[in-house]
Structure 1
Amino acid sequence: MVGARFAYLAALLAVVVCVEGCGGGGVPYEERAAWRDKTEAQCLAAGYVRASAYVQNASRVSGPSACGIGAALKVSGLNGGRVAVSPPATVNCPLTASLDRWMQSSVQKAAHRQFGQPVVGMRQIASYSCRGRNGSRRGHLSEHAYGNAIDIAAFRLANGREITVVKGWWRGDAREKAFLREVFTGACAEFYTVLGPGSDRYHYNHIHVDLLVTNVSKGRHYCRPVLRDGLFAAAEGDALSTASIKPIPFVGPPGGE
């Protein structure tokens, strides 16, 4: 009797575990949307990102649930290798193209304007990772689970100075704050979701960018916190409209290439 009761409880526990993380590996279950593989294939076919010493083709990435990248890239540099990405990021083609454009059109211009020199390095703390949003075992998969997102923690200037998001955002000097405001605003024009310190407790030390197309399909970019009067302010329910921010579609050649 005791053995039968133990077996019943063990089976019941297994069902509960499956309900909470039935995607396998403790991640939410999600169907893979057709647009993901389609946009990857379009980007590669058009040649907007080409293999090089700093953008290398990697093996196809797959995991439980819908996790994976159809044509994974290992990116160790942007803008023709002039900006090192450390550690190398595993991401998809569309995100790589957008990072390249953003680096040249926003980040480098902001660096020259504020510091009189270019950015030569970018430190990232999360690229591909098969997990739920904010690590949750319920709800939706994170865009990191598709190689469609990256978390940026710092930028390095040519003179070796590092501007970190965790320090510069709130406690940096005037130029550091202005630089981060400019790169964040530029990210909101290039990417479809952008989250920084003040958006929630999960993004206190980095800027998260991704290309979740369902955001722009609704006519809006999702950017937090919102910039008002030159200052960041987290405002529940606010979003940036494409009427005021014009996105640059990923289907365009990387700047300077």
Structure 2
Amino acid sequence: MRVILVRLVLALALGLLVASGYIRAGFLDIPNRLNPFTPLRIADDVSWLTRWKLSRLERDGAQCLAVLDGSQVSHRIVPDRASEEGCGLSNAVEVSQSSVRLSGSFTATCPLTVAWALFEQHVLLPAAREHLGQNIVSVMHFGTYACRNINHRAGGRRSEHATANAIDIAGFVLANGQQITVKGDWAGGDTHQRAFLRTLRDGACRFFDVVLSPNYNEAHYNHFHFDMGSYRACR
């Protein structure tokens, strides 16, 4: 029985390898949404391949920048900065605006910026219309790059902020001028505001590697932490 199972697994792996070769060469015509080799586009519907395509951008800086060039994110390339004591920049961009206004420009790795653009397009904007009945016009954030350890501890490992691979989101401004903040509305908001913020937390986990909310610990009582690090967490 074990021999048969091993043969089936090997046959499946071989079949997938052959099929991927045909797809890559263009011999098999499949819809773009099902083609793993079609470049990621922010505007495309999210599918089970989106996350895989996003992860590929961490190893392909040129393709990552090409994805941003085809998006609504206003950005410029930031020169790499050699890592010093665990802090530095690589394949980073400075973002001045996306499809909404930002409380300030920020510098972030290209993959983090693409993940943010996906989150904004497919989670943030639809959630505001669903739960609050209006559009988001601005995002308030606490920044991205900071050469420090996790939770500002004196010891321990570096935060993803140390390489601009994380962003902290404090709140949002609606079209009518109302502000929805993590600090004030995660627990203190009305039913719609609380549902909106929890939808953002859950939806962010589709694109970011680590998503931390006030449910995680007291250090995150006033913001969401999103990063593209080597760990996975959705809290």
Shared fold, TM over 0.5: yes
**Structure 1 unmatched ranges of 5 or more:** 1-37, 216-220, 225-257
Partner of 1:45: 63
Partner of 1:222: 233
After TM superposition, the structure 1 = structure 2 runs for residues 4-23 of structure 1, keeping only pairs within 5 Å, are: none
Letter in 2 for 1:126: G
Contact 1:40 1:71 in 2 (8 A): no
The 3 A distance-change label for structure 1 pair 109 and 50 is same
Please give the secondary structure, in 2, of the residue aligned with 1:189: coil
After TM superposition, the structure 1 = structure 2 runs for residues 101-180 of structure 1, keeping only pairs within 5 Å, are: 101-180=118-197
RMSD: 2.0
Contact 1:40 1:92 in 2 (8 A): no
CA distance in 2, matches of 1:96, 1:107: 15
CA distance in 2, matches of 1:41, 1:180: 31
Please give the secondary structure, in 2, of the residue aligned with 1:107: helix
TM-score (norm. length: structure 2): 0.70
Partner of 1:212: 229
Letter in 2 for 1:57: I
The 3 A distance-change label for structure 1 pair 62 and 204 is farther
Partner of 1:73: 93
Relative CO higher for 1 or 2, CA cutoff 8 Å, sep ≥ 6?
Answer: 1
Contact 1:193 1:209 in 2 (8 A): yes
* 1:101-159, Cα deviation, whole Å (9 max, x unpaired): 00111111110101222212111103011111111231111000111100000111122
Q: Which moved more, 1:177-186 or 1:192-201?
A: 192-201
CA distance in 1, matches of 2:58, 2:103: 23
**Structure 2 unmatched ranges of 5 or more:** 1-55
Aligned residues with identical type, % of pairs: 36
Please give the secondary structure, in 2, of the residue aligned with 1:172: coil
The alpha carbon displacement at 1:62 in A equals: 4.2
Q: Alignment partner for residue 97 of structure 1, among 114, 128, 136?
A: 114
CA distance in 1, matches of 2:153, 2:84: 15
- Higher helix share goes to which structure? 2
CA distance in 1, matches of 2:124, 2:60: 26
The alpha carbon displacement at 1:40 in A equals: 4.8
The alpha carbon displacement at 1:70 in A equals: 1.5
CA distance in 1, matches of 2:126, 2:223: 20
Q: Establish whether residue 55 from structure 1 lines up as the match of residue 75 from structure 2.
A: yes
The 3 A distance-change label for structure 1 pair 53 and 153 is closer
After TM superposition, the structure 1 = structure 2 runs for residues 173-252 of structure 1, keeping only pairs within 5 Å, are: 173-213=190-230, 215=231, 221-224=232-235
The alpha carbon displacement at 1:177 in A equals: 0.4
Contact 1:61 1:72 in 2 (8 A): no
Letter in 1 for 2:85: S
TM-score (norm. length: structure 1): 0.64
Partner of 2:84: 64
Letter in 2 for 1:74: E
